[in-house]
Amino acid sequence: MFKQYELPYAFSSLEPHIDELTMETHYTKHHAAYTNNLNAALEKDASLKDKSIEEILSSLSSIKDEGVRTAVRNNGGGYYNHNLYFSILSPEAVTKPAGDLLAQIEADFGSFDQLKEKLASLAATRFGSGWAWLSATKDGKLIASSSPNQDNPLMDDASLTPILGIDVWEHAYYLKYKNLRGDYVNAFWNVVDWNAVSKLYNNR
Ligand code: MN3
């Protein structure tokens, strides 16, 4: 049974950048539903029972039943993606990277500002619902990408570790930002905790 990441902060604590009602709805409705639906899908395939979510997603194509595979893609993706999303946000965010991660950002993107611009651009140009990602290869190189729906860079690829995800589904921002996805992404940087992102980078 997969369980939702437990939030160490209050729904209201990311105000004014991400509003309380969005956080509460996102966590208690959307993320909860992905988690419940993932657990229900896994009941139908005993071979998935003792695997981690990373193992399941990185070998998604090996799920034989198409209905189970689609349910795991959508809900296992949603489960994993939101665990990551909520775990890198913090009301006490360290808003700049440092150390090895900063050095690699400068090597791969030029500067931290250029990385943020790249991710904002990927977030803005992802048509419809999806995510923008920063992922690390095993040897530490950084890759920026985006994906539709609840897909992520782990799917059928065990070589990448996502370390930051920007949820650009409307449910992540519409109550406060309406159609202004770019304003949400600008505000998002105020609550991304680069200490948490760094830990994921170092543990890749
Ligand atoms: Mn979401």
Identify whether the C-beta of residue 73 lies closer than 8 Å to the C-beta of residue 60.
yes
Query: pTM of the full predicted structure?
Result: 0.97
Q: How far is the CA of 171 from the centre of ligand 1 (A)?
A: 6
Tell me what the mean pLDDT of segment 91-98 comes to: 98
The residue-averaged pLDDT of 154-174 equals: 96
Q: Tell me, what DSSP letter sits at residue 59? A: T
What is the Cα–Cα distance from 122 to 135, expressed in whole angstroms? 13
Q: How confident is the model at residue 44 (pLDDT cuts 50, 70, 90)?
A: very high
Cis peptide before 16, with omega less than 30 degrees from 0? yes
Ligand 1 center from residue 167 Cα (angstroms): 6
- Cβ neighbours for 179, distance < 8 A, ≥ 6 positions apart: none
Q: Tens of pLDDT along 66-87?
A: 999 999 999 999 999 999 999 9
> Percentage of residues in the chain with pLDDT exceeding 70?
100
Distance (angstroms) between ligand 1 centre and the Cα of 4 equals 13
Distance in angstroms (rounded) separating the CA atoms of residues 176 and 186: 13
Average pLDDT over all residues of the chain: 97
How many Å apart are CA 204 and CA 78, to the nearest integer? 20
Distance 169 CA to ligand 1 centre (A): 6
Q: Give residue 133 CA to ligand 1 midpoint distance, Å.
A: 14
Residues of the chain above pLDDT 90, percent: 99
- CATH, domain range 19-204: 3.55.40.20
73 C-alpha to ligand 1 centroid (Å): 15
The pocket of ion ligand 1, defined by CB under 5 A, consists of: 167, 169, 172
Q: Say how many Å lie between the first and final Cα of the chain, rounded.
A: 24
Residue-wise pLDDT tens digits, 104-144: 999 999 999 999 999 999 999 999 999 999 999 999 999 99
Which residue ranges make up each domain of the chain?
19-204
Q: What was the pLDDT predicted at 77?
A: 98
Q: How far is the CA of 34 from the centre of ligand 1 (A)?
A: 10
Å from CA of 108 to ligand 1 middle:
28
Q: How many residues does the chain have?
A: 204
pLDDT at 26 over 90: yes
Rg for the chain (alpha carbons), in Å?
16
pLDDT at 49: 85
